[in-house]
Structure 1
Amino acid sequence: MKKKTIFSIIALLAVVIIILLFVQGNSGKTNASKVRTGEVKTETIVETLSTTGTLIPNQTQSLMGTGNVIEVSVSVGDHVDKDKVLATYDNGLQLTAAFSGTITQVNIVAKQADTNAQQGKPSIQLDDLSTLKVQLSLTNSEASAVTIDQKANIISGNQTFSGKVAEKDPVALSTQSTAGTSTSLGAIVTFDQAPENLFSGFDVDVDITTNTAENVLALPIEALTYNSKNDPIVYLIKDGKAKETKITIGIQSDKLIEIKSGLKEGETVILSPSSDIKNNTAVTKE
């Protein structure tokens, strides 16, 4: 009986030791969520509006005639000088170039009547293709952000050209299509230098610089989230815990957002916080 008792005591002690070792081995472990982090820094933020426009000629002349055509002296693709006579009619009318440019449409034939006016087409179209500009159709929110003389980058394929907003229509126009009615405001972006290897009629991407804030507090935009009241917040890391912090924000780029209040330079914030992150959640950096 004594031997059995001793063996029982030894076995019990062994179990207790194993339990103690297991508890001790896990005592340093936590349920902290691993998070990616960023830092509040002083930055320069450039806010841009990205849109799409259509390349159009710098100048356009739609010439309209009436009567029987006696002579047509140009063809599509011809370059003509200012004041050149392009066509003559039997009533003495002459169609004359108002500027030097390229003939892009010829819709009349010699010894035939000109009926283009009834069809809403020009008899001859003259375009200045020596340089182009970009026609924009802005939405309501875009129109409020765009002003004359803002800098712009015009992107076509792997080419980027500098330019600026040169014109902005005073009134928006509505257009009817099979998809319904759409309303937009016209604007023009011009090139700083005449581009090469671009063609009128093609679409290009346009990035307009709408605002710049220099030497301001900023954080990575992926740190920004919103609470149930739709207030902008971030989660700071303090003493190993996430701290919900309400902030006031300013302009933003595709990577950074301006912080007007609520944060200090050098503070650490959680990037792309998951739904598991709440106020006072234990966290650790990845």
Structure 2
Amino acid sequence: MSMIEELKEQRKMFQPISEEKIKQVDNAINIAKVNLDSAKSKINNVDKGIIADFDGVITTINVSEGGVGNPGQPAIILENINLKLVVSLGRYDAEKVKLNQEATIKGIDKSYKGRVSFISPAAKGSASAPSIGGINGGGDTTLNIDIDILDKSQDLKINFDADVDLLIGSANNILKIPVEAIINDKDDKNYVFINENGVAKQKEIRIGLQSDTEVQVLQGLKEGEKVILNPGNIIKSGMKIKESVEEEMLEVKNVVKSYINGEINFKALEGVSLK
């Protein structure tokens, strides 16, 4: 085979480059130039210092001078200094909470005012609880709410746990008695024992708001009547009793106190964390 024929055969082996492929290569070159310019710009900005979009506190540094950074990890983490409380509520407590509700955040030796600023539109189920069509099939579900802290303090730190009281009801000029005076039966009826001239008398009552220590009485008692605390199963209606604060009575310590007019606030939902 002559030299000319060999050259012709070699020419057949080359594929022509289409205009479309040329355009694709040009686009790739342009994109590479843009990325290079962006990288140079970032380097210049770093030389001038990094400016965050908001005020905050650096809580984590994942790089060191001269080291190699991880592309999948932020170099630093900046936390917003406007702390908020994140509360996870059960289904029954969640029904009682509304936007702009007042809250009291309890620190170690100080309390702070707060206000409910956000209520999540969807509850979260536990990892072990399967869901069908977005509806939890069982297990615990919680609803997150945010509480803005109105009183600023250096004592409150990010990711600290705290206790919070949410005011979900209040009443003035009411009759109230201590919680430990109430007996609840299997029919969900409430009773108390009163001291009527030295004799125990059982009375059914209807209750309203309730705090950790006191209960509002809507019906069944009159102001000035005296109730027996912690009556248990020993005190019976018609039994003779003696009013005492600390003495043993019928082998059980029972305290007889008057209930009074007053104000009661229903507070609940403790044990949440600051975010």
Structure 2 unaligned residues grouped into runs of 5+:
1-38, 129-137, 245-275
Give the Cα separation in 2 of the matches to 1:162 and 1:103.
26
In structure 2, the partner of 1:169 is: 120
Q: Where does residue 231 of structure 1 map in the other structure?
A: 189
Deviations 1:200-256 (A, max 9, x none): 111111111111011111112211112353310011222432111111000112222
CA offset at residue 175 of structure 1?
Answer: 3.7
Deviations, residues 143-188 of structure 1 (Å, cap 9, x unaligned): 12221112111112112111111111111112427xx964211111
Aligned to 2:71: 115
Aligned to 1:127: 79
| Distance in 2 separating the partners of 1:137 and 1:227 | 31
Q: CA deviation at 1:280?
A: 1.4
Q: Of residues 157, 172, 177 in structure 2, which corresponds to 1:199?
A: 157
Q: Please, which of 229, 250, 255 is the counterpart of residue 271 of structure 1? A: 229
SS in 2 for 1:204: strand
Paired amino acid for 1:277: I
| Kept in 2: contact 1:139–1:184 (CA 8 A) | yes
Structure 1 equivalent of residue 99 of structure 2: 148
Check 1:97–1:271 CA distance in 2 against 1; reply closer, same or farther (3 A cut): same
Per-residue displacement from partner, 1:23-71 (whole Å, max 9, x unpaired)? Answer: xxxxxxxxxxxxxxxxxxxxxxxxxxxxxxxxxxxxxxxxxxxx99958
Output the amino acid matched with 1:153.
T
Q: Give the number of equivalent residue pairs.
A: 197
**Separation of aligned partners in 2, 1:264 and 1:107:** 67
Note if contact 1:70-1:111 (Cα within 8 Å) is conserved in structure 2.
no
SS at match of 2:93: helix
Q: What does 1:222-261 correspond to in 2, within 5 Å? A: 222-261=180-219
Q: Which amino acid aligns with 1:126?
A: L
Alpha-carbon spacing, 1:249–1:141, altered in 2? closer, same or farther (3 Å): same
- For the Cα contact (< 8 Å) 1:72–1:108, is it kept in 2? no
In 1, the alpha carbon distance for the partners of 2:201 and 2:167 equals 35
Structure with greater proportional helix content: 2
Deviation digits for residues 104-130 of structure 1 (CA, Å, limit 9, x no counterpart): 3344577856431xxxx545422222x
TM-score, normalised relative to structure 1: 0.60
Per-residue deviation at 1:273?
A: 0.6
Question: Tell me, which stretches of 5 or more residues in structure 1 are unaligned?
Answer: 1-66, 75-83, 87-95
Question: What is aligned with 2:7?
Answer: none
Q: 1:189 is aligned with what amino acid?
A: I
Secondary structure in 2 matching 1:211? strand
What amino acid is aligned across from residue 199 of structure 1 in structure 2?
Answer: K
- Work out the percentage of aligned pairs sharing the same amino acid: 32
Residues 201 and 112 of structure 1, relative CA distance in 2, 3 Å threshold: same
What letter matches 2:229 in structure 1? L
Q: Which has the higher strand share?
A: 1
1:145/1:210 contact within 8 Å kept? yes
- Secondary structure at 1:145's aligned position in 2? coil
Describe the shift of the 1:209–1:125 C-alpha distance in structure 2 as closer, same or farther (beyond 3 A). same
Change in CA separation of 1:257 and 1:113 when aligned onto 2, cut-off 3 Å: closer
* Match of residue 159 from structure 1: 110
Partner Cα distance (1:209, 1:175) in 2: 27
Change (3 A) 1:226 1:98: same
